[in-house]
Amino acid sequence: MGQSEAVATTSDFQQMLRGATLRVTKPRVAVLSAVHALPHADTESIIREVRRELPEVSHQAVYDSLHALTAAGLVRRIQPSGSVARYESRVGDNHHHVVCRSCGVVADVDCAVGHAPCLTAADDNGFTIDEAEVVYWGLCPDCSTTRSA
C-alpha cells in the first residue's frame, strides 16, 4: 500500500496473507500491521509494536513471521551497510533508500531512471538482473541543521 492510500485494517492484512497463500495467524497479522505502521523499522521496534497487541508473542514468532512475510513478498528487508536489518511494506517497485550518516534515519527514494531494475549494469556477467539496490548516504535535514548551527 502506498502512503497516499487509506490505512489498512486487520481484515486487509488477513486478505494479504491469504492472497500470498500464507496461513493467517495472529502474530503474522500483528507483524504485518507493525511493518505498515513503522516504515523502515528494525526488528526490536517491530517486536515492541506487536507486543502492544499481543503481549505474549515471542521474539521467535516475530522473526518467523518477518521471514515468511519477506519470502512471500509482502514485506521487504533492507540492510544498509553498518545498519541492522529493517523492514518496510513498500514492495514491488524497486525503490531505493537514503540513510543519514549521523542519526541513521532511512527514507525512500524513487527509482532514478527507467524501469526496474532502474540501473543497467555495464556488464551483467551473464546474470539475469531483476533488482538493483542503491543506498544514498548523507545527512538528514535535522542533522544538517545541527551541524551548521
CATH number of the domain residue 16 falls in? 1.10.10.10
Instruction: Specify whether 97 is located in the same domain as 68.
Output: no
Sorted by sequence, the CB contacts under 8 Å of residue 6 that are 6+ apart come out as none
Instruction: Specify whether 109 is located in the same domain as 72.
Output: no
pLDDT tens profile 83-126: 889 999 999 887 888 999 888 889 998 876 655 556 677 788 88
Which residues are annotated binding-site positions?
Answer: 100, 103, 140, 143
Position 86 in a domain: no
Which residues are annotated binding-site positions for Zn(2+)?
Answer: 100, 103, 140, 143
Position 84 in a domain: no
Instruction: Specify whether 137 is located in the same domain as 108.
Output: yes
* 3-state helix/strand/coil string of 62-120: HHHHHHHHHHCCCCEEECCCCCCCEEECCCCCCCEEEEECCCCCEEEECCCCCCCCCCC
Domain count for the chain: 2
Segments forming the whole domain that contains residue 53? 10-78
Instruction: Specify whether 71 is located in the same domain as 109.
Output: no
Position 122 in a domain: yes
As a dihedral over the C-alpha atoms of residue 40, residue 67, residue 36, residue 23, rounded to 10 degrees, the angle is 180
Length of the chain counted residue by residue:
149
- Give phi and psi for 96, each to the nearest 5: -120, -175
Instruction: Specify whether 72 is located in the same domain as 99.
Output: no
Give the global pTM: 0.80
CB neighbours of residue 69 within 10 Å: 24
Instruction: Return d(Cα 80, Cα 116) in angstroms, integer.
Output: 20
CATH at residue 134: 3.30.1490.190
Domain stop point among 19, 49, 78: 78
Instruction: Return d(Cα 18, Cα 13) in angstroms, integer.
Output: 9
What is the model's pLDDT at position 1?
Answer: 42
pLDDT tens profile 14-51: 999 999 999 999 999 999 999 999 999 999 999 999 99
What is the model's pLDDT at position 72?
Answer: 96
Instruction: Specify whether 72 is located in the same domain as 106.
Output: no
What is the model's pLDDT at position 131?
Answer: 74
